[in-house]
Amino acid sequence: MSYLLPALVGLVCFAMLAAAFVAIRGAGMAIAILAAGLVSLMASVLFLVLAAPDVAMTEAAIGSGLTTFLLFFVLGRVRGGEKEEGGHG
């Protein structure tokens, strides 16, 4: 039982790092936004595991809900101009 919590925390942290890597290096902007939302979702799971349900609710509602929508919305508005920066897309 005592190993369960650290193992869960480690797993969630690893998933967060993987999602963050996908967000930076992933193929395409839409996948990057989804991955960034996933990082927030994992963070809210982590807060829940660490016994902070109040923070977890805020993170889930704002971090992975409204922010993801906002980024998608802006992506829809600037569509077509995103490649001109010469970045990694």
Partner 1 sequence: MVKRLVALALLAVFGLVFATLLTGYAPDAELNQTARYYAERTAADLGAANIVTAIIVTYRGLDTLGEVTVLFLAAAIVGLVLAEGAHDRSRMRPPVGELLTTGTRFLVPMILLLGAYVFVNGHLTPGGGFQGGAIIASAVLLMLLADPLRHFSHRLISAIESLAGILYVAIGIAGLFLAGGFLDNRILPLGNLGELASAGAIPLIYSLIGLKVGAEFSSMLASLSETEEP
Give the interface with partner 1 as residue ranges (CB under 8 A).
53-54, 56-58, 61-62, 65-66, 69-70, 73, 77-80
Residue 35 CB, nearest approach to partner 1 (Å): 20
Copy the structure tokens of residue 39: 């990082």
Q: Which residues contact 44 (CB under 8 A, 6 or more apart)?
A: 55, 56, 57, 59, 60, 63, 64
Q: Minimum distance from CB of 30 to partner 1 (Å)? A: 16
Nearer to partner 1, 27 or 70 (CB): 70
Q: Which is nearer to partner 1, 1 or 78 (CB)?
A: 78
* CB of 81 vs partner 1, minimal distance in Å: 8
What is the maximum span of the chain, computed from C-alpha positions, in angstroms?
53
Dist CA 23 CA 27 (whole Å): 9
